[in-house]
Amino acid sequence: MAHDNVHLIRGLYEAFGKGDVASVLGKMDKDIEWREAENFIYADCNPYVGPQAVLDGVITRLASEWDGFTMTPEEWLDAGNHVVVLGTYTGTHKATGRVVRAQFAHVWAVKGSRVLRFQQFTDTKQFAEVVA
């Protein structure tokens, strides 16, 4: 079952990379609790509860404020009902023209075929400097 959780989360990154936001949202529990890293530029409404809140508060903002924003997963850690993904964010902030390249750790809580919780960890200072 745990291997299935890694497969599920890999599919979310693949869908996001293709711009298939509907598939990403479709795997979220109706009461998903999504937390951006403390002091992150999109942590202003933590926790985001429900797929619509994640879409409005995170995904739409990423799409409208960044050019070429990508999440590149590099390592997958199978922790049973949790999957930890280590990787790198890259993108150019539209308003400043500055580029970000920051490591991330994402912790996903999964039950069945649904994502229950998400927690992001990243270099919040780097993002703050890029958007300023």
Q: What are phi and psi of 85, to 5 degrees?
A: -120, 125
Reported as a pLDDT band with limits 50, 70 and 90, residue 5 is very high
- Alpha-carbon gap, residue 91 to 113, rounded angstroms: 30
Q: Which two tokens stand for residue 12?
A: 């979310």
pLDDT at 128: 97
pTM greater than the 0.85 cutoff: yes
pLDDT tens readout for residues 28-37: 999 999 999 9
User: Residues 101-123: what's their mean pLDDT?
Assistant: 97
